[in-house]
Structures are given as C-alpha cells and as structure tokens.
Structure 1
C-alpha cells in the first residue's frame, strides 16, 4: 500500500512520501592487514572525510533502494542513474512498487537532483506529461533523504560528516572490489554543521524533522576512500496516523569518473499548478 500526500505551504510544494536486504556483510581479514590497522585507528575521521573524497572523484553511476515499513507493511522503491559530485547534480529514474493487487505498475519518475532543489517528471495526477515539478528541498522535513524515494548520493555521504561513533568491521568484497566495512551512528545536527552550502540546509531540516537525529549506518569504502555502498536507517513520524515509519535507504556507487551531462529544466518547463492527491 502506498500513500503520498502533497500540500501547498509558503508558496512552495511540500511533498511528503509515506510509503508502505541489503545484508550488512561481515568483514574478513586478508592480506591488507597493515592497511586495515591504519584505517581502524580513526574510523570516525575516515568517514567524516568520505563526502570530500566523492567530490574529488568527480562523478559516478548510482543505484538506490529505499525500503519503508509501517503498520506491518513494507514497500521498496528502486532507482538508478548518475551523479556529478562537484556540481551537486544528479539524474535518477525511480521505480515505484506495484499496486497492492500486483496488476499494474506506476510509471517511473525521472528525478533531477540539484543544490537545494528536486525536480520530478511523471510526478502525479494533474501534471502535464512534458512538465516538471520543482520542490525546494530545504522546506522538506527530511531534507530529501526520504521524500523523493531515493536519497541524494552526496547528501547520503554528507550524513557521515556527523559521525559520532564508528567501528571498522573489516574487509569484504562488493561487486568484485575489495572494500572496507564500517558501522556506526551519525548525528544529523552535527552533519549539518560540518556541511556547506545546500548540504547544510537540507541536513538541518532533516535533523529537525526526523523522529531522531541519530542515524545508524553501514558503509563500505574502496582503497581510495570512495563510498561504494552506504546504508542508513531513518525514522520519522507519520502525522496523520501518529506512527513511526522506519526507512532503510541503500545507495551503491560505481563507475567513477563517467560523463553525467545532467541538465536542469528551463523555467517554462516547470509546472506551477496544483498537484492532485493520489
């Protein structure tokens, strides 16, 4: 079952997605024990630098998975696309789950991620097929960590700037690449203070909007310190039903350095009307 609500607030569209695994791989000691020891010495410091390492990498492909659970119902939303870390620009195709009867599928939503903004095409009823819906992510109570059905890859990394506790678990293999597994908890308010520009505002919004600012995570880094996989566990309050929604968001990053060519829509292509409830 999926429930999505939209309302007009302060002249901007507020989109709240309330929708009804990844196995955290065990580390195994290998021949790189000396390198493992050096990384284990300061795991929190290593993770706080992970977002900067992605910016240095330039770009990558991304796959996302977001599992939401409430009232005993679980729904998974998947996405795939590219991201430019230096420009903070991304493009994802997000696949919504089937209807409860399993007889029909939603059209994929194309999402463009930009500093302080989320653009969506095929967003919902009442929006012309050739138009985009624009959302100011700083106005979202989750900072777009959940709303779009996919966590912005760079914001996902910037959550780690607020790492409070972290443990180096060990090495494992991910898609044929040896990676180093860390587990810990980040604080969204601290992450916001450590971020800059658009990242600061969206993380500050999330720190206020989630049920708790503490975010447990598992993250896997390659030899260059680049995130290959990150899994966060968020929780927020569903205002209508007065219940807590648990969200597990997983992002996989690969093919670093590719061309992304993300172009934002022109002003004439952005829909300014009311979005119908679904």
Structure 2
C-alpha cells in the first residue's frame, strides 16, 4: 500500500480513525504471513524498583541523560508499561489506551489496547492484543475481515512510520530510542511522579538523527525517517535517579507539515524487572487472507 494512500486515510472522520486505533486504518491489507512456531516466555530481567530514592537533582547533562534513556531501560531489563495515543481528527481528539509489559533486552513485549467508545458511549470493538517484536507487529482481534482469535502480522520496517503511530501505541523501546536524536534539551525541574523523584526535561528529537545513531540498516526508525515529512518530534521526558524513563510524551506530525495529523503518544514505565510473559502465535493462527479496509 503506497504511503500516499496511508496518509489520505488518516484525516478521515474521528470515528473511523478511532475505531481503527491507527492499526486498522493504516495496515489494512498489509498483514503478511509469518513463520510458524511459538517462543517460550521471556525470563524476568534484572533491575529493581527504586522509588523515592532521592531527587535526581540538576547534576549532569540533561541532554546526555535523555540520549542514554534507551540504554538505561536495557540495563533495567524490563518494565510494566502503559500507553496512550491521542489523535487530532477534524478538530476532535480521540484516544487509544494500552497496558502491558516489555522486555527491553529482547526488544519485545505485549500490550492490550482499548479503542475509543462510539458517540453513544458504547464499546464497539473488542480490545486488541499486540505483540511487539524487532521488525514485526502481531495483532489479535484486529478487526473486520480477520476471523476471531486469529493474528495479523505486519512488517514494521516496511511501514512508512516505522510503527511509531500505526499500531495505536508507540513501541516502548522505539519511543526511548528516538531520544538518541534529542536536541535543544532543557531541564524543566525536579518533581515527584507517583512517589518517585524524577528529573523533568523537554526538547525535540530528530527521527533521522536517531535512525543514524541506531544503525543496523532496515529498522523501524530508518523507515520512519523516510516516511515522516516532519522528522522533528517535540517531547517531554521524566527520568528517575537511575536515568530510567518513568514517563515520555512525544508529539508526531504524520503527513505534510501544513495538513498532517497530530499524534500525541505517551508511555509510562514502572515495576522494573517484572517478568514479561510472551509467546509468538503458531503459524496456523496467523491470518493470511483478505483484510477489510477501513471505510
């Protein structure tokens, strides 16, 4: 599916975009078959919780701390994560929320996304289960045209946004890796976030710069660097005394600068070192048939 076609779909009615949760509006028809087999559950990672361990203060370079945030998460091993993606459509904001866990060492995790309710307040769509892996996104209960209980596999390196917004939630590790391209970083101050002392910073992350620093050829960030017309991503980050992200908000503009869709992605991180139950779907459970496009 051409990038231009993806972009044309985004600005449609709030209801259509919300029901899609981004995932259904953008990847319709793109679910390719994946290899079979299942993976064992990931082992618990190291890196314990350190709530209220004293204010991180203003010592050190906030820009360096932000650029090291992804490495700090890898050192922590894993975490419980929460996501929220808000999209501007026709002057209205629609929101997709998610909860789950992520293994930063293996680069994979599991999220359950809750899509917006309809105008009458009814829950139209079942929650969508997502498995995030390096280079691929698996979605269960993805929507029309996919049999119940089946999964859809999407190659995230082929998506023009690198799955920064497509899946309805920004990959928690990719969100942090984007900060490698941070510039114009300023320290807002020190605060308490859910009982943890944090350093609050803000700045702008450049997708293309982050992709260059990440290296590795065909990566989601490399795809995003080519697919986004606006590669500057304003952000706000809250870092604890160990340099780990506790909260990160990033503002994407998908499409042309003048008419692109505004997307605000917020990711929260806590319970570091938590176990991350994870198993890839068997090949027989991955849907390879026709997927109905968003209307």
Q: Same fold (TM over 0.5)?
A: yes
TM-score, normalised with respect to structure 1? 0.85
Matched, 1:101 2:101: no
Query: Which residue is 2:106 aligned to?
Result: 87
2:235–2:250 contact (8 Å) kept in structure 1: yes
Structure 1 position 166, deviation (Å):
0.3
> What whole-Å deviation, never above 9, does each CA across 1:42-67 have from its counterpart, x for those lacking one?
22211111101100100000000000
> What whole-Å deviation, never above 9, does each CA across 1:157-212 have from its counterpart, x for those lacking one?
000010122011111111111111010001001101111448x6111111222230
Query: Which residue is 2:41 aligned to?
Result: none
2:117–2:124 contact (8 Å) kept in structure 1: yes
Matched, 1:140 2:159: yes
More strand by share: 1
Question: Which of 198, 221, 244 is 1:203 aligned to?
Answer: 221
Question: 1:51, 1:7 → 2: CA distance?
Answer: 31
Query: Which residue is 2:236 aligned to?
Result: 218
1:45–1:104: structure 2 CA closer, same or farther, 3 Å change rule? closer
2:58–2:199 contact (8 Å) kept in structure 1: no
Question: Which of 239, 264, 272 is 1:256 aligned to?
Answer: 272
> What whole-Å deviation, never above 9, does each CA across 1:110-162 have from its counterpart, x for those lacking one?
00000000000000112111210000001111111101100100000000010
Query: Which residue is 1:267 aligned to?
Result: 283
Say how many residue pairs are matched.
252
Question: 1:37, 1:176 → 2: CA distance?
Answer: 18
Unpaired stretches in structure 2, ≥5 consecutive residues = 1-14, 18-24, 34-53
Unpaired stretches in structure 1, ≥5 consecutive residues = 14-30
Structure 1 position 101, deviation (Å):
3.0
Query: Which residue is 2:51 aligned to?
Result: none
- Note the 1:1-278 alignment, pairs <5 A: 1-3=15-17, 4-8=25-29, 12=32, 32=55, 36-39=57-60, 42-197=61-216, 201-237=219-255, 243-278=259-294
Question: 2:274, 2:27 → 1: CA distance?
Answer: 35
2:116–2:123 contact (8 Å) kept in structure 1: no
Question: 2:84, 2:123 → 1: CA distance?
Answer: 20
Q: Looking at both structures, which has the greater relative contact order when contacts are Cα pairs under 8 Å and sequence separation is at least 6?
A: 2
| Root-mean-square deviation (Å) | 2.0
Structure 1 position 261, deviation (Å):
2.0
1:5–1:116: structure 2 CA closer, same or farther, 3 Å change rule? closer
TM-score, normalised with respect to structure 2? 0.81
1:70–1:244 contact (8 Å) kept in structure 2: no
